[in-house]
Structure 1
Amino acid sequence: MRAIFTIACYETLLILKDRTLRLMLFVVPLLYAVVFGFVYMQGVLSQVPLAIVDLDHSAVSREVRTSFENSPYFRLVPGIESPDQLEKAMREGKVRAGIVIPEQFALNIQRHRPTELLGVYDASNLIWGYNTRRYMREVATDFNTQQTAAYLAGLGISKNQIQGIMNTVNLNYEVWYNPTFSYATYFYPGLLLMVIHQISLLSVSLTVTREKERNTWVQYLSSFLPSWKIFLGKALPYFIVNFFNYALLLWIASYFVNARLEGSVGLIVLFGLLFDIIITSLGFLISVHAPNSLQVTRYLMLISVPIFMASGFSWPQSHIPRAVNALSSLLPFPWMAEAFRMITVKNLPLAYVLKHLLVLLAMAGGSLGLAMTFKKKRRPPSSRGVAVNSSHSYPGL
């Protein structure tokens, strides 16, 4: 144990002396969490800039305007009086949606003729488009209900009779798991997990390549220490820091960004530990076999986007091609991301995430076993490419 502790202390001093690595481990995850937190802090899309083109100029059309104006979902943009002005404002990005009230709108309503409002919205951004359409329908439905109730009241029908007619078929909504449709609850934790995954994997992957570039890796290979002690000593500081970042970023998500993180704390900790073990072990293996630090950085940056896309956060896994799903099932992040969402958002117990737990346990066991039994064979650093973290200053013990 003393040898492991000595190597761990040496690696910790290397981390503290290397400014880039120190920033990567202690500052970058927190910085990403804060930046993403500000982006998704509101959680629910509201105050959509809306223009209303009133071609009727009647009392009823003004009621339509009032209905949209009183909605918390929209923010009316004044000064747009014609369809041409609306089109120009949409192109310039001044508005995201528009309502066109046709001529003789009030007259058609009074004569009980079919009439319609024209709703246009910008769907170039799907988040804006989907939510804007839903908000428009809600306001239009409420307005139509009020007009129908007023007409029935004008016929002398009592209030109770009106309620009976209007509520013949009623749909009650009961939203489960994410009742506010918060994008912070849905997307933000996945981003944090990806930050932890990439920063942790990259930092651990530079441990041995740094030693190779400094020609100090040979002292480990020529020592009498077994492989598992070298691995534990080199990986232990990163394992501790990575789990600290995991807990810190989730705390920020829960208390500052108001992302919904419920469920069993024990399961959250257990999955976090397994995820940390896998990342730390895989990072060490990559570092042992990689020719230099630049190659590690290049390839890890290349795979970050595909891993996140295949995880199910950006697009449902049920609608991703089977071949892509099969490849992503070999990676720890999709399993961790799905299990984390099932625990924290759906508040599901162990029985529902047992499959994910077993898969991550197998991955942790396999990666840990390979990392602890690496062959102590010298692989000189590649002469190709530029070395990263190749300073020749050494911390004293």
Structure 2
Amino acid sequence: MMKNFFALIKREFGLFFADSTLRSVFLLAPIVYALLFGFVYQKGKVEHLPILVVDLDNTPLSNQLIDMLGENEKLQVVSVRKENVGTSKAMRQMNAVVAVVIPERFEASVLQKRYPELNTYINTTNLLTANMASQGVQTTLGTFSAGINMQGLKKKGMSSEQAAMQYEPFKVNYIRLYNETGNYFTYMWPGVLAVVLQQVLLLGLAVSFAREYENKTLETEFLGRSGSAFSAILIKVLPFWILSVFILAIYYAFHHIFRAPIPSPLLNYAVTTGLFIMATTFLGVFISALLPSALKATQVLMLLATPAFIIGGYSWPLEAMPIGVQWLSSILPLTPFLNAHKVMLFQHGSLADVLPSIIHMCVLVGVYGLLALITVWIKIYQMKKKTREARQAKDSA
């Protein structure tokens, strides 16, 4: 029995490496995507966003404001215009994210305490760059406004300390935790790698079963020799589990290459990642064995996997989603895995801190494992029944 089991495992590895599609999907795709997304997000911060300034005042004070905007690391003043004509067109041509319009008599109004209004036009086509540019403009304008107010108070005879206390009766300290630099690469890359791993596991299993269906070897060469439904599932998923270790080792090396946060201690990540891989492969076996059409199985698995990152609560809170979407996200292994991964990687949490996510993944492992077991058992039962009926028909003849 064990000899037959290992022979089938050897057969699976042989079929895997003989299939160019399966090799490229499972081994090449994770490396290519990891490098691609690593280089895309490597810089981590968006700096020198182009902004446009319309200066209708052209005074020392307005020029000072323009200089301050240009000194902000997030912003780059690409053009200073003297009239507010064709501003929208100019923003499109220069790919400007923000246009700041300084009104006429700006300096005079400030000095006379008439509180002039500055209009800022924000290009929200890309919300990420729009938010960063808007934050940079707000910070600069806030600093500029505070400086003017303090200068006015000092002209009335107050000292610098008194002027500061008058303008700012208390101080607020903003202390960033976990991702102190606000690095977008640090936040985004681990989630993307998990999505890629889930995709290749599901697609790899779909291709593996599709090959059996196309060659008509699922019943004759695989199920007939595997002995039981449990052995059949184990034979199918074990090569993917072993090869997943190879992919994870590459991911770990890439963390050093791109200077991303290093998962530590590795034992904690081995627990959550192992449960994630088990739940994902069992889901893949269940769908692939349930649907005899390779195309349908692939479509269903990709339909489940594609929106997993968006609805998984990693980049957008689950609480803000409809109940139906929350339910859908809860049946995908990626959701609890990313929740646990985020807490352990960024907040340095322990397994106890992510216990609800671990329980969630254990439930998914049990449910999908049971569904896969039942589905494969039915396949074996139907195969044996068909063989028995054929033998009886032959004997009757």
Same fold (TM over 0.5): yes
Does the 8 Å CA contact 2:287/2:297 hold for their aligned counterparts?
yes
**Cα distance in 1 for residues equivalent to 2:253 and 2:321:** 32
Q: Which residue of 220, 225, 240 corresponds with 2:242?
A: 240
Q: CA RMSD in A?
A: 2.2
**Cα distance in 2 for residues equivalent to 1:156 and 1:190:** 56
| Counterpart position of 2:233 | 231
| Counterpart position of 2:391 | none
**Partner SS for 1:331:** coil
Residue 46 (structure 1) shift: 1.8
Change (3 A) 1:247 1:275: farther
Change (3 A) 1:322 1:204: same
**Cα distance in 1 for residues equivalent to 2:308 and 2:132:** 27
**Partner SS for 2:100:** strand
* Worse overlay, 266-275 or 237-246: 237-246
* Worse overlay, 121-130 or 259-268: 259-268
Q: Which has the higher contact order (CA 8 A, sep 6+)?
A: 1
| Counterpart position of 1:191 | 192
| Counterpart position of 1:219 | 221
Does the 8 Å CA contact 1:4/1:233 hold for their aligned counterparts?
yes
Structure (1/2) with the larger helix percentage: 2
**Cα distance in 2 for residues equivalent to 1:320 and 1:263:** 32
**Partner SS for 1:49:** strand
Does the 8 Å CA contact 1:286/1:296 hold for their aligned counterparts?
yes
**Cα distance in 2 for residues equivalent to 1:201 and 1:308:** 15
Residue 42 (structure 1) shift: 2.0
**Cα distance in 2 for residues equivalent to 1:77 and 1:273:** 50
Change (3 A) 1:93 1:237: farther
Q: How does 1:259-338 map to 2 (within 5 A)?
A: 259-261=260-262, 264-338=265-339
Q: Does 1:208 align with 2:209?
A: yes
Residue 263 (structure 1) shift: 5.3
Percent of paired sites with the same residue: 28
* Worse overlay, 89-98 or 255-264: 255-264
**Cα distance in 2 for residues equivalent to 1:38 and 1:300:** 28
Does the 8 Å CA contact 1:6/1:233 hold for their aligned counterparts?
no
| Counterpart position of 1:390 | none
Cα deviation per residue 1:329-353 (whole Å; 9 max; x = unaligned)? 1221111111111111122222221
**Partner SS for 1:120:** strand
Q: One-letter code of the match for 1:223?
A: R
Does the 8 Å CA contact 2:272/2:358 hold for their aligned counterparts?
yes
Q: Does 1:66 align with 2:82?
A: no
**Partner SS for 1:119:** strand
Residue 281 (structure 1) shift: 2.0
**Partner SS for 2:303:** helix
**Cα distance in 2 for residues equivalent to 1:9 and 1:80:** 71
Does the 8 Å CA contact 2:54/2:80 hold for their aligned counterparts?
no
| Counterpart position of 2:395 | none
**Partner SS for 1:106:** helix
Residue 247 (structure 1) shift: 4.0
**Cα distance in 2 for residues equivalent to 1:79 and 1:71:** 16
**Cα distance in 1 for residues equivalent to 2:225 and 2:21:** 29
| Counterpart position of 1:180 | 181
Does the 8 Å CA contact 1:261/1:345 hold for their aligned counterparts?
no
| Counterpart position of 1:45 | 46
TM-score (norm 1): 0.88
**Cα distance in 2 for residues equivalent to 1:365 and 1:49:** 52
Cα deviation per residue 1:144-167 (whole Å; 9 max; x = unaligned)? 122223223333322332333344
Does the 8 Å CA contact 1:40/1:257 hold for their aligned counterparts?
no
Does the 8 Å CA contact 2:223/2:232 hold for their aligned counterparts?
no
Residue 233 (structure 1) shift: 2.4
**Cα distance in 2 for residues equivalent to 1:119 and 1:322:** 38
* Worse overlay, 261-270 or 187-196: 261-270
Residue 21 (structure 1) shift: 0.9
Q: One-letter code of the match for 1:368?
A: G
**Cα distance in 2 for residues equivalent to 1:59 and 1:293:** 71
| Counterpart position of 1:120 | 121
Q: One-letter code of the match for 2:317?
A: P
**Partner SS for 2:359:** helix
Residue 92 (structure 1) shift: 3.4
TM-score (norm 2): 0.88
Cα deviation per residue 1:309-342 (whole Å; 9 max; x = unaligned)? 2201342101001122123212211111111111
| Counterpart position of 2:107 | 106
**Cα distance in 2 for residues equivalent to 1:48 and 1:11:** 52
Change (3 A) 1:298 1:372: closer
Residue 262 (structure 1) shift: 5.1
**Cα distance in 1 for residues equivalent to 2:137 and 2:263:** 32
Q: One-letter code of the match for 1:88?
A: K
Does the 8 Å CA contact 1:43/1:185 hold for their aligned counterparts?
yes
**Partner SS for 1:83:** coil
Does the 8 Å CA contact 1:287/1:296 hold for their aligned counterparts?
yes
Does the 8 Å CA contact 1:311/1:317 hold for their aligned counterparts?
yes
